[in-house]
Structure 1
Amino acid sequence: MAWITMSSQQKDTCLVTGGSGYFGYRLACSLHAEGATVILFDVTPVCGELPAGMAFLQGDIREYAQVARAVSGVDCVFHVASYGMSGREQLDRRLIEEVNVRGTENVLRACVENGVRKLVYTSTFNVVFGGQVIENGDESLPYLPLRLHPDHYSRTKSLAEMAVMRADGTALEGGGGGGGGGVLRTCALRPAGIYGPGERRHLPRVVGYVESGVFRFVYGDPGSRVEFVHVDNLVSAHKLAAEALTPGREPSAAGQAYFISDGRPVNNFEFFRPLVEGLGYRFPTRRLPLSLVYYLAFLTEMPLLTRTEVYKTGVTHYFSVAKAKAELRYEPREYDLDEVVQWFVSRGHGRRSGTGPGLRRLLLNALLVCGFVALVLSYLPGVGGGSAAAGAARPNGS
């Protein structure tokens, strides 16, 4: 491929792993717009044309030689790539391990051997959460013991974050390109479930379930709360984290982890209400107890609806962004789902007069509830949100 030469007026040369995914691409475009030289690294090409001056390098994060070639000449790596967040991906434990753990080890090794000074890792809330109630938790919370993680994605993301934290301060071979004290500086961001116009992993499935009549019930305590993060708030946090890894910057983000969200805890079903109603559908009024959904999961134990996963949507867990505000100068903007609604409407979605879902048999309704619960589970960080969710390089595509 043709590599781009950075002019003296431009900022860092940045590599975004998982750059073809929703979040990775959004981050890359924002960096590019601010004058950085940006390289996208992913197994899947970007849909459509790249902005002029942005480069794409196709490669597999599991292959060290390909990773090393990608980071050559780079100042900062944004390591977004991951696998196994939701859907059928959750079933392939071997591939999850190879991408999330070995892939991260490859990125860290390549950074050290190629003199990369800064690495920002996209982690997940679930490195500390495993079904227990957490209200306004902060970064002093310990890692959840690995044996207690209810899914392999969360476990491997935790292992990867630990590796990133240990790598902070590692001496760079050759002293490090472009100065910077000759050491690698790292930090980790732990996002909530990501949303925004054009998000293509979860929101289209939500709309599909609504339009087909699957969304007929809600469940659990209406007072339970979780968190989400708008894609542009998460982009802002990543750029601020990279700045806070710059040598001489105080306070420094080096060796630190940060929870990132919109800072507005909300019931997970109520979060989707503006989307459902904005597309012209009635929001469900029937509510199932969490114990019943748990029992359904116990009876079926489907790959997308396990007993432990039920608690990830029904149990309150949200986290403070105070540390990110104080140390990264992170100030999340307020967003709603209006832009998401308009994005779907502009593509022909929304209820049409004279149409609507037919009646469902009671048994079918129960099964459909399980399906929608699985969808919500996949949207939340560590099961599907976020985190890491967040636009990732995947061996079988984004």
Structure 2
Amino acid sequence: MVKLRSKKEAGSQTHLVIGGGGYVGFWLGKTLVKNGYHVLLIDLRPPIWTLHKDMEFIQVDITIYSALEEVFKGIDCAYHMASYGMSGREQLNKKLIEAVNVKGTENVIRACIKHNVTRLVYTSTYNVIFGGQTIESGEETLPYLPLDKHPDHYSRTKSIAEQMVLAASGQNTLDGHKLHTCALRLAGVYGPGEQRHQPRIVSYIEKGYYCMTYGTSTKQDFVHVENVAQAHQLAGEALTEINNYKAAGQAYFISDGAPINTFDFYRPLVEGLGYPVPTIQLSITLVYIFAILTEIVHSMIARVYNFQPLLTRTEVYKTGVTHHFSIAKARQELGYCPTIQNDLSSVVQYYINTGHKRTQKQSSIMYWIVNAIIMIIFVCFILSLLPSVK
């Protein structure tokens, strides 16, 4: 166990970022440090970035309460950003998703109560509401998607966890104070150095997998990591007595506030790296069928070969069905104001700086051959299924 620096050394408050080894958690940690807080990051894996002054890291498994609760001593505000199963093959690991997202959240709430932490901000997701249905400018008054309607384990467990956190708001801590909680429902996060979604997308672009689109008339939300950090800090402040605990028990949608088609959003990245934008458009129904069958195959052979699915059902819905939400409540109650909107310029520059710019030496003929082969395989695969689909 690493001992925390004293508050006298580091400042008046110590803030805990659960999941602080990840991209978004570390960015929040940096933002909190800049604003004068001492920050403790905890995660199962250490951050790949250099720790700043007044920032510490402790390796903790949130599914083990005895290890987790120790780090809550002396914490003024906790941000629960840890989760598992958001995308790719992780979405198919039901057991681990349940352990981290549900059991881990139970442990966090329990530790807050034991160690008198009075503020808890939970990082949630659009998926607690969205399950493939069209939503335009949705508000927080929308009901939760019924648990049995969620197309994936991640979304279902995040809904359970969010409801647990909000229900805990107002509970007495061990010394008689009250725990105040709120939830931030995030759109898809992007930013320079993001480690979860962007590397996979760039990999698909470079391998020639990005050769077709679907749902090109639909719109979705995105949120820059800088905006995410701003929203979390504001939410933590809105759980204080000086701000009348105005965020207590509340949920907020957080995005850049500028809905855009997913493939239009990533166009600057594709073109910026020197690759052609796909012109072939497919029916979302066919892509969804392909995703279903991919998941079936994965479930059959994952123990032998845990391959990365090109797309899961949830990813098809997220990228191909219109769903965007209003950030009016976050603006009004938290003072949230996005400083960046759908700007991939720093992301493009990041990948150019790390050697991903396509050069003239790379054969455009080979790129199109790979595209053609993938397209032929996909079409033949779908055509072979049509009789059974009927």
Aligned partners of 2:125 and 2:218: how far apart in 1?
Answer: 20
* 2:342 is the alignment partner of 1:347: no
Q: How does 1:292-307 map to 2 (within 5 A)?
A: 292-302=286-296, 303=298, 304=309, 305-307=311-313
Check conservation: 1:215, 1:368, Cα contact below 8 A. Answer: no
* 2:110 is the alignment partner of 1:109: yes
Aligned partners of 1:354 and 1:37: how far apart in 2?
Answer: 49
Task: Give the match for residue 190 of structure 1.
Answer: 185
Task: Give the match for residue 375 of structure 2.
Answer: 365
Shift in Å at residue 298 of structure 1?
Answer: 4.8
Which range moves more in the overlay, 291-300 or 67-76?
291-300
Aligned partners of 1:207 and 1:348: how far apart in 2?
Answer: 12
Check conservation: 1:211, 1:350, Cα contact below 8 A. Answer: no
- For the residue of structure 2 that corresponds to 1:123, the secondary structure is strand
Aligned partners of 1:307 and 1:174: how far apart in 2?
Answer: 46
Shift in Å at residue 265 of structure 1?
Answer: 0.5
Task: Give the match for residue 339 of structure 2.
Answer: 333
Task: Describe the shift of the 1:312–1:51 C-alpha distance in structure 2 as closer, same or farther (beyond 3 A).
Answer: closer
Check conservation: 1:214, 1:368, Cα contact below 8 A. Answer: no
Shift in Å at residue 359 of structure 1?
Answer: 0.8
Which range moves more in the overlay, 295-304 or 63-72?
295-304
Identity of aligned residues (%): 53
Check conservation: 2:223, 2:256, Cα contact below 8 A. Answer: yes
Check conservation: 2:254, 2:327, Cα contact below 8 A. Answer: yes
Task: Describe the shift of the 1:306–1:366 C-alpha distance in structure 2 as closer, same or farther (beyond 3 A).
Answer: farther
Task: Describe the shift of the 1:307–1:88 C-alpha distance in structure 2 as closer, same or farther (beyond 3 A).
Answer: closer
Query: Which of the residues 242, 266, 272 maps onto 2:260?
Result: 266
Task: Describe the shift of the 1:2–1:245 C-alpha distance in structure 2 as closer, same or farther (beyond 3 A).
Answer: same
- For the residue of structure 2 that corresponds to 1:334, the secondary structure is coil
Aligned partners of 1:139 and 1:236: how far apart in 2?
Answer: 19
Task: Describe the shift of the 1:298–1:47 C-alpha distance in structure 2 as closer, same or farther (beyond 3 A).
Answer: closer
Task: Describe the shift of the 1:256–1:223 C-alpha distance in structure 2 as closer, same or farther (beyond 3 A).
Answer: same
Task: Describe the shift of the 1:238–1:88 C-alpha distance in structure 2 as closer, same or farther (beyond 3 A).
Answer: same
Task: Give the match for residue 317 of structure 2.
Answer: 311
Shift in Å at residue 7 of structure 1?
Answer: 2.3
- Return the structure number with greater relative CO, CA threshold 8 A, min gap 6: 1
Check conservation: 2:218, 2:322, Cα contact below 8 A. Answer: yes
Aligned partners of 2:230 and 2:277: how far apart in 1?
Answer: 32
Task: Give the match for residue 272 of structure 2.
Answer: 278
Which range moves more in the overlay, 84-93 or 30-39?
84-93
Check conservation: 1:39, 1:55, Cα contact below 8 A. Answer: yes
Shift in Å at residue 307 of structure 1?
Answer: 4.8
Task: Give the match for residue 224 of structure 1.
Answer: 218
Shift in Å at residue 215 of structure 1?
Answer: 1.0
* 2:246 is the alignment partner of 1:252: yes
Shift in Å at residue 91 of structure 1?
Answer: 2.0
Shift in Å at residue 9 of structure 1?
Answer: 8.2
C-alpha root-mean-square deviation of aligned residues, in Å? 2.0
Task: Give the match for residue 395 of structure 1.
Answer: none
**Residue identity matched to 1:197:** P
Q: How does 1:16-27 map to 2 (within 5 A)?
A: 16-27=17-28
- For the residue of structure 1 that corresponds to 2:154, the secondary structure is helix
Q: How does 1:141-220 map to 2 (within 5 A)?
A: 141-175=142-176, 182-220=177-215
Task: Describe the shift of the 1:21–1:366 C-alpha distance in structure 2 as closer, same or farther (beyond 3 A).
Answer: farther
Aligned partners of 1:299 and 1:65: how far apart in 2?
Answer: 41
Task: Give the match for residue 373 of structure 1.
Answer: none
Task: Describe the shift of the 1:152–1:255 C-alpha distance in structure 2 as closer, same or farther (beyond 3 A).
Answer: same
Structure 1 portions without partners, runs of 5+: 176-181, 371-398
- For the residue of structure 2 that corresponds to 1:15, the secondary structure is strand
Task: Describe the shift of the 1:154–1:279 C-alpha distance in structure 2 as closer, same or farther (beyond 3 A).
Answer: same
TM-score, length-normalised on structure 2? 0.89
Aligned partners of 2:107 and 2:252: how far apart in 1?
Answer: 23
Query: Which of the residues 237, 241, 253 maps onto 2:235?
Result: 241
Task: Give the match for residue 47 of structure 1.
Answer: 48
Q: Deviations over 1:172-225 (max 9, x none)?
A: 1113xxxxxx100000000000000010111122112112221111112x2201
**Residue identity matched to 2:247:** A
Check conservation: 2:209, 2:371, Cα contact below 8 A. Answer: no
Shift in Å at residue 358 of structure 1?
Answer: 4.3
- For the residue of structure 2 that corresponds to 1:173, the secondary structure is coil
Q: Deviations over 1:311-353 (max 9, x none)?
A: 3322110000000000000001134111111111111111101
Aligned partners of 1:342 and 1:117: how far apart in 2?
Answer: 41
**Residue identity matched to 2:59:** Q
Q: Deviations over 1:272-306 (max 9, x none)?
A: 00000111111111111223223433554455445
Which range moves more in the overlay, 205-214 or 267-276?
205-214
Which range moves more in the overlay, 183-192 or 87-96?
87-96
Task: Describe the shift of the 1:301–1:83 C-alpha distance in structure 2 as closer, same or farther (beyond 3 A).
Answer: closer
